[in-house]
Structure 1
Amino acid sequence: MNKVFRTLKKGFLYTFSILIFISAAAYIYLYVLPKGPEITEIKKTNNGIDSFVIYAYKNSERKSIKVWTYKPESWNEKDKIVFVMHGGGRNAYDYLNTWVELADENNLLIVAPEFENKFSTYTTNDYQEGNLFTFFGSKNPKSEWAYTVVENIFDHIKSVNKITNEQYDIFGHSAGGQFVHRMVMLMPESRIGTAIAANAGFYTLPEENLAFPYGLKKVDIKLDTHVKAGHKKRLIILLGEQDNDPSLGTFRTTELAMEQGVHRLERGTNFFITNKKLSEQKNWVFNWAIDTVKNTGHDYKKMSETSIKWIEK
């Protein structure tokens, strides 16, 4: 009996040691070793399609990020700057290409950050959930939030191009729609003019007793400060009339996600109604709107085209 117990104990300790080693190695690989493409030389943004790579965080060289841009020849200082946030495929270049014609027609400088991650199939915390937490659940400093990276990119563009624009607009589709609505709620001090969250898979509700990313529990965000300020921002919940097929894209089906609705159209509608009711109850300023695109499903190209009317208003 004692021999069996000793064998089991050794097996348990061996397995436990292996798990600790794997976890430590994974943490070092993900959060200690430098990540991202090689930094490029600092230069002004060229007309047409261009790109640059900068450090994602202002006080750290641990992570870099590639940023795609498209600049019409007629674009000048004070013309609009629009950030375009890709979906879960992390395909920033594809999204940029969708906006080229729109940029020419409406004289927009398009900025498409690429939140590259080889393990994006298995983790969403670093992008659409804002990088508030590591994959292991520990908190990241605000200086490393994904939303702060957008602000850093804006500062870089202002600096190298010597422009004085005080705001930018932002569009995000699918995972990018998750990114955008959370940025408005969790970082309302950002310099967003108009934010458009299109076809998001699920949402962060204004509930302090519901765990993040479904609610605000465990994050340093309060209803009467951050969410109240977020309601003052101009956020458009853009939905596809036919985005009612859960099989399209990556669709979260956890119990808490399903409580928000059985498909994206229903979830987006419920999210907007929940926030509108909260704002009315608390007598807050509410500058959000909801728009449903006819005959459109989970299509980032058509949603991008529709978003222009909100950016131009």
Structure 2
Amino acid sequence: MEKWCFRWLLLCSFIFFQMKKLFGFRLLAVLTLLIHLGCDNNDASSPYTTILSGTGSFNYTGYEPLQQAPVRVFYHIPEGDVTTMPVLFVLHGSSRNAVDYRNAWIPLGNQYKVAIIAPEFSDRYYTGGNAYNLGNVFVDGDHPSSSTLHAEEMWTFSLIEPLFDEVKVLMENTSDTYDIYCHSAGAQFAHRFIMLKPGARVRKVMASSSGWYTVPDNTIIFPYGIEESPITSLDPRDYFSRELILQIGENDTDPGSAGLRHNTFLDAEQGMNRYERTLHFYDKSDSIARSGDFPFRWKLLVVPDAAHDFRNTISDAAASLYAAP
């Protein structure tokens, strides 16, 4: 049992014996439940002395620049050789429900022997689309300027690499790279991560059902294009040569879908729904890469009969990421 669990038990016992005269022995049932919940060995509040196994969660505060904005990390480690096991980051949508994504991926993690790591960027610390979808690159990502550009260490994107290092230590894992599966708002995060983090050790990114995109077009201002963003100073060969897989459900065509951004420019330029916008992003990016004679490794994966529920697309995503060719 963890040390913190013993402290919790002692505190509960003290409260019980001090208050039983007032509330009677019914308090015992409540305290017993609290002790049981608090002493879950797979729910570590301090992971730094814990080797990850099974299914659980921990608070990550190991990235110093964002230490005051902790990230709850839900994980599932299948049985097998954890030292060489692939690591998959699963990034949630705007509901910030990482535990649901982790749980949905458990059977696939077991099937393909992949460690599932699902960080939760809570709205408390990573408020709104600016801090999550747009990676906190600017004070206001919808109105970028050189004077409001955040230092790179404060970008939300900058937390992924040190978290990978932490997971490797906690798993005793030796992998050189990791993969990303992301859905909806998470897919917005990840396709921008690919462009803004050229040194990231990511192997493949499965970006599923993004609501809209930052097209690598330097004639369109960020966040719909890359003008006025740090992306313009980076070599397109790097991000176009990454294995970015754009997954979209064939029926993800509802223009009134909850949380789907609409404005005059976006609707006219990228389309009215996620399906149209994904195809536009892929085709436009392919055209830009061809015109610059850049290598282009991005792929499009349309899932038949699927709409916007990630549970209907993750099997195809897992097969694309891990099934033998």
Which residue pairs with 1:85 in the alignment?
Answer: 91
For 1:1-313, list aligned pairs within 5 A. 40-55=46-61, 57-59=63-65, 61-118=67-124, 123-135=128-140, 138-222=148-232, 225-258=234-267, 259-312=269-322, 313=324
CA-based RMSD: 2.0
How far 1:76 moved relative to its partner? 2.0
**1:56/1:256 Cα in 2 relative to 1: closer, same or farther (>3 Å)?**
farther
Partners of 1:41 and 1:107 lie apart in 2 by 22
1: CA distance between counterparts of 2:50 and 2:242? 30
**In 2, Cα distance between equivalents of 1:309 and 1:293:** 12
User: Which stretches in structure 1 are left out of the alignment for 5+ residues?
Assistant: 1-37
Query: If the length of structure 2 is used for normalisation, what is the TM-score?
Result: 0.79
Looking at structure 2, the residues matched to 172 and 100 of structure 1 have their Cα atoms a distance apart, in angstroms, of 15
Distance 2:62 2:129 in 1: 17
Q: Aligned in 2, Cα 1:65/1:276: closer, same or farther, shift over 3 Å?
A: same
Q: Partners in 2 of 1:257 and 1:39 — Cα distance? A: 42
Amino acid across the alignment from 2:305: N
Unaligned runs of 5+ in 2: 1-43
Measured in 2, the distance between the counterparts of 1:264 and 1:60 equals 32
| Counterpart Cα distance in 1 of 2:318 and 2:170 | 27
Q: TM-score scaled to structure 1, two decimals?
A: 0.82
Aligned-residue offset at 1:210: 2.0
Structure 2: distance between partners of 1:153 and 1:133: 22
Q: Distance in 1 between matches of 2:50 and 2:200?
A: 23
Asked if the contact 1:55–1:64 (Cα under 8 Å) also holds between the matched residues in 2, the reply is yes
Q: Following the alignment from structure 1 to structure 2, what is the Cα–Cα distance between the partners of residues 185 and 61?
A: 25
Distance 1:300 1:112 in 2: 14
Checking the alignment, whether the CA contact within 8 Å between 1:56 and 1:149 is kept in structure 2 is no
1:218 CA displacement: 2.1
Percent same amino acid at aligned positions? 29
Which letter maps to 2:244?
L
The structure-2 alpha-carbon separation of the partners of 1:45 and 1:269, relative to structure 1 and needing over 3 Å to count, comes to farther
Q: Please state how far the C-alpha of 1:40 moved relative to its aligned partner.
A: 2.1
Change (3 A) 1:247 1:45: farther
CA distance in 2, matches of 1:263, 1:226: 30
Number of aligned pairs?
274
Contact 2:183/2:310 (<8 A) preserved: yes
Which whole-Å CA distance do the structure 1 matches of 2:307 and 2:229 have between them?
Answer: 33
Q: Distance in 1 between matches of 2:155 and 2:82?
A: 30
Determine if contact 1:214/1:256 at 8 Å carries over to the other structure: no
Question: Could you tell me how far apart the structure 2 residues matched to 1:140 and 1:62 are?
Answer: 17
